[in-house]
Amino acid sequence: MDWPHDPDGEEGSEGRRKYGHAILAKKIDEEEDFPLTAEEYVEAYGDHPVRIDHERVVSVETVFEHVEEAEFADFPEFHRALGRALRDADYWPYQLGHA
């Protein structure tokens, strides 16, 4: 896929230093951008790359295919919804162990 910027550059995952959730969260201002709809976010950033792990890069739009919520009242709500979507899509590279 042709990205609007390098997924590992400063606009992307900062040279592979930031992944998934961090990349998605950096695109919004917690104080000014809420309430926010999923449609607005995808319209603005849908073609941007999201590095999932050292091998996989997907688009913001692809991640949002797994987001059930249409609107987010605040940053914590947005953050939780994205966490669920990343796990549901198997885009969460860390697995918690079970005792």
Report the number of distinct structural domains present in the chain.
1
Q: What is residue 99's predicted lDDT score, i.e. its pLDDT?
A: 47
How confident is the model over 44-86, as pLDDT tens digits? 999 999 998 888 899 999 999 999 999 999 999 999 999 999 9
Tell me the CA end-to-end span of the chain in Å, nearest whole number: 40
Give the number of other CB atoms < 10 A from CB of residue 73.
Answer: 11
Chain position carrying tokens 């950033």: 45
| Residue 4 falls inside a structural domain | no
Asked whether residue 2 is assigned to any structural domain, the reply reads: no
Q: Domain of 25?
A: 20-88
Question: Which distant-in-sequence residues (6+ apart) come within 8 Å of 52 by Cβ?
Answer: 19, 20, 58, 86, 91, 93
The answer to whether residue 68 is domain-embedded is yes
> Average pLDDT of the chain?
88
pTM for the full predicted model: 0.85
